[in-house]
Amino acid sequence: MQEDFHYYATYCAAYLSGYSHSESLDICYSAQFVDLCSATYLTGIKAPAQAATTQLQMEMMNTRTDVTGLQNITRIWAPFHFLPRDLYATKDKKRPKKYMNKYRLICGPNGALVKDIVELAKGKPLQSVGIAMHVLADTWAHRNFAGTPSLVINNTDDEFYEFIAGEDGEQKRKIKFQHSLSAPDDLDKSIYTSSLYQRNEKNIMNLGHGRAGHLPDYSFIKYMYLPAWDDYRVMIKDNPSDYRHAFCQMIYAMKFIRGEIDSFETDVYDFAAIKDYEERIDGILRKRQLSASSDWKAFGEDLSGESIEDFDVNKYQKEYVDAPKDEKAGTFYGLFIDGAIAHKGLVCDRIYQSGNKLVGFVQEMKND
Amino acid sequence: MTKLQRIKEIAIALIMILGALVMMTYPKESYPLIVIILAFLFIGRGISSIWYYFTMARFMVGGRESLFMGVIWFDFGVLTGAITSVPHYYVLLYLVGIHGFSGVVRVLRTRETRMTGSSNWKLTLIHGLIDIIMAVLCIVYIKQIDITGIIFGIGVLYSAVMRIVTAFRRTALIVIE
């Protein structure tokens, strides 16, 4: 997912769930900041790098993919962008543990961890709510890929087909991939950028959905492909439907966090909240465009009657840098950092407790 | 990283350092040793790829490629070891390729790293420059058999040091309350 959904659509979902305009802005800022809070950024403002929620491309390229390096990568991408669906998943036929550890990190919606992270955000500052909403939304967009470098899980072949809606129904069109990062995706010709095929299991190119390019990040696209891990079964990914579910699940989750609902259950969506806007939301989700930011922004401004400022990554930087050491924790970034560390700790602990060491070791500190 | 993994890394690194020192001290005499090492490296790579196929890749779409690549590397290793006299030019050209390519990539990467505002570029730049210098030395002294041993030794020494650094890196540890 990109800024259009993590920032503007999250604002809309927060507002629809009952948050005020300014609260919704804080939530959507935090949700989008998850995609920008790298170790480089944090060290630049003298904040703890352990709170990093993403990695810059260069950071990843400079990371050695030895055991420790892989744990560092997985500890960021699995909790924040590829939340595992089932840490105890099984396969029909027995597979080695090494394979299963990676298989069990495959991301997907409505897993036990989604419930855990939403419950963790309840009673916490708005920054934690934003983090949880980012992760929840990504479980829909990034499903079927894992937040660890793995050829056997994240690889795909080149046979991708896009379903184009027309007057005669849906038509299949072959997708062509290019590997130039500077070239923009060409939606009219179905030419998209993806990472290069690398035979090395642990190569960074095999992290997440790199091999499928930005397809998971576009709300409009419905496509089919062959994932490496699913025993030659063809996968159809219907993003408009998935994004609609993500949006309605965010509303439901935030109503729970606000205390309107007593318990949070997976596979529950607040479709009623968007009943009056169904057509408009569907139109935004299905519109073929590289970014839906302006459409979501217009929708959000119509909802609240307030202006939604553009996302500025440095909005709270000065506040944090200028704050005395003992007051940093109370700043916007300070609260975000606390939320990020708590979130990372929870997810890594669950992974570690499942017997999977791909995120390293987790140690519980007891407060007497 | 577990304690056992650390011990394994350090033990391998120490053996590598010993080998590197021998190569650098007796470069001319160690040439046959280098060819044997290269042969074992290729064989090891082949076995590793075949092992990867049976434990991981056979469960993925198109994973058989790993098996084929493993067999090819294994064959190549056996061939290298079986030839009684490999002209040292071939080994030097191999070293030029390895060091030259990784050196250029490292230097180019430095530029991009600096653009992101990261301060972790100096070490990468030094690595890149050393790689390029070694590639240039291989070309300049291509007629001398001694240089093969020295440059190969430096490469092995570098890999050994990186293994030790890895072994002593702090294990990923998350503390939760």
Query: pLDDT tens, position by position, for chain A (368 residues)?
Result: 899 999 999 999 999 999 999 999 999 999 999 999 999 999 999 999 999 999 987 788 777 778 888 898 999 999 999 999 999 999 988 899 999 999 999 999 999 999 999 999 999 999 999 999 999 999 999 999 999 999 999 999 888 999 998 888 888 999 998 877 677 889 888 999 888 788 889 988 899 998 898 999 999 999 999 999 998 999 999 999 999 999 999 999 999 999 999 999 999 999 999 999 999 999 999 999 999 999 999 999 999 999 999 999 999 999 999 999 999 999 999 999 999 999 999 999 999 999 999 988 877 666 55
Nearest chain B residue (CA) to A368? B177
The predicted structure's pLDDT at residue B175: 57
> Min CA distance, B10 vs chain A (Å)?
14
Q: Are A299 and A281 in contact (CB under 8 A)?
A: yes
State residue B30's pLDDT score. 78
B-chain CB neighbours of A98 within 8 Å are 55-56
Residue with more model confidence, A50 or B2:
A50
Confidence of residue B120 (pLDDT cuts 50, 70, 90): low
> Which helix H or strand E contains B175, and what residues bound it?
strand B173-176
3-class secondary structure per residue, A219-243 = CCCEEEECECCCCCCCEEEEHHHHH
Q: Is the pLDDT of residue B28 over 80?
A: no
Q: Tell me which of B148 and B57 has the higher pLDDT.
A: B57
Contact residues, chain B, for A201 at CB < 8 Å: 52, 56-57
Least confident of A246-260, B55-69, B151-165: B151-165
**Nearest of A180, A208, A190, A196 to residue A35 by alpha carbon:** A208
Give the nearest partner residue to B171 out of A201, A345, A361, using CB atoms: A361
Q: Cβ of A62 and B52 within 8 Å?
A: no
Tell me the per-residue pLDDT of B71-112, one tens digit each, with 9 for 90 and over: 999 998 898 887 767 677 777 787 788 888 888 888 887 776
What number is the average pLDDT over the span B29-33?
Answer: 78
Q: Do B60 and A157 touch (CB under 8 A)?
A: no
Question: What global pTM score does this model have?
Answer: 0.85
Mapped onto helix, strand or coil, the DSSP state of residue A213 is coil
- Start-to-end Cα distance in chain B: 23
Strand A176-178, strand A361-364: pairing: unpaired
Predicted pLDDT at B83: 72
pLDDT at B174: 60
The answer to whether B176 touches A79, Cβ cutoff 8 Å, is no
Best mutation target among A53, A64, A104, A152 (most B Cβ atoms within 10 Å) is A152
pLDDT of residue B106: 80
**What integer pLDDT is reported at residue A341 of this predicted model?**
94
Mutation to test the A interface, candidates B60, B68, B69, B112, most A Cβ within 10 Å: B60
Share of chain B above pLDDT 70, in %: 88
Q: Buried b vs exposed e over A256-272: b needs ≥16 C-beta within 10 Å?
A: bbeeebeebeeeebbee
The pLDDT of residue A239: 96
b/e code A28-54 from CB counts within 10 Å (16+ = b): bbbbbbbbebbbbbbbeeebeebbbbb
| Interface ipTM > 0.85 | no
For residue A366, what pLDDT is reported?
Answer: 61
